[in-house]
Amino acid sequence: MKNPDTVFAEARVLETLFPESRSDEFFDALFGDATEGAYNIKLRYGAYDAKSGTLTFFLDLLQRPGKCLACNLTSGLPDVFARHPVINIRGLVAGTEHLLEARCTGWELGRTRQEEPTRYCIPLVLSLSGS
């Protein structure tokens, strides 16, 4: 398996896995108008724990100008992201497997949490084999 810290060090790799345009596509599918979205979704690399074989990413929810981020979040958002075809977590996982030359044995989206007033995040934890 390739070293995740090296593979995900460059922003372009994360942008390839989860393009910036996906935020607008998500809100267009959800509301019929991308401008209705209160946040942009950006993939951030967290860390790799070799001992447990887990890789952590974060789906950062970044408030759009003039929008209220807190007003648009619900505890059910991870469930929506897990199954929404535009967010495509399964595709993100498959891309990660390909980049790392490893196999994902499972993944989980954690609960939405506030990190800053204009940034919330949803942890995405992948269990890898071949580590």
Q: What is the mean pLDDT of each run of 10 residues along the chain (131 residues)?
A: 94 96 96 94 97 97 91 80 96 97 96 93 92 49
Using alpha carbons, select from 67, 52, 46 the residue that is nearest to residue 115. 46
Domain housing 32? 4-129
The alpha carbon dihedral of 8, 10, 13, 17 has a sign of positive
State residue 130's pLDDT score: 63
Using alpha carbons, select from 11, 59, 19, 15 the residue that is nearest to residue 39. 59
State residue 129's pLDDT score: 87
Radius of gyration of the chain, Cα coordinates, nearest whole angstrom: 15
Q: How many domains does the chain have?
A: 1
pTM of the full structure? 0.92
| Residues contacting 100, CB < 8 A, separation 6+ | 1, 2, 4, 7, 55, 128
